[in-house]
Amino acid sequence: MASRSRYYYKGFYAEHALMKRLRKAGFWCARLPRSGKSYGFDIIAMRGGKALFVEVKRRSDFVNIYMRKERVILMKEKVKKAGAIGLLALYVSSVKEWYVRDIKSYDHIYNKNYRYDAGGNWIPLDEYLQSL
């Protein structure tokens, strides 16, 4: 059996921690296994006729997030097709807090990547959920 990396396990635990928070806020949630290989998102959450497609990231500090351009384009297409809200969720372990932003609200485009700046349009998760 192949060994999984510590990054896989950190991501796995972050996804489950976010689902726990979303369920506490009244959402139905499902984790999409191997999301990067097929679906594009890590979590689907639904409440009151609203669907969230969530890509989960975990970092020790608030840093810029880089995502492959073709992956973000695929994610935006799926969000549009489903009439969902596409979110990038970031758990910052140094402050033990979740932040979110719309997947479409990147700060810079490079040849192969979109960059979401640490100082950009991040909203604390609880504040975002209250606004829905």
Rounded Cα distance between 32 and 34, Å, is 6
pLDDT per residue, tens digit, the chain (132 aa), is 445 665 565 667 889 899 999 999 999 999 987 655 566 799 999 999 999 999 999 999 999 999 999 999 999 999 999 999 999 999 999 999 999 999 999 999 998 999 999 988 999 999 999 998
Please state the pTM of the whole predicted model. 0.87
Give the residue carrying structure tokens 């799926």. Answer: 78
Residue type, 1: M
- Backbone torsion region of residue 115, taken as left when φ is above 0, otherwise alpha when ψ lies between -120 and 50, otherwise beta: beta
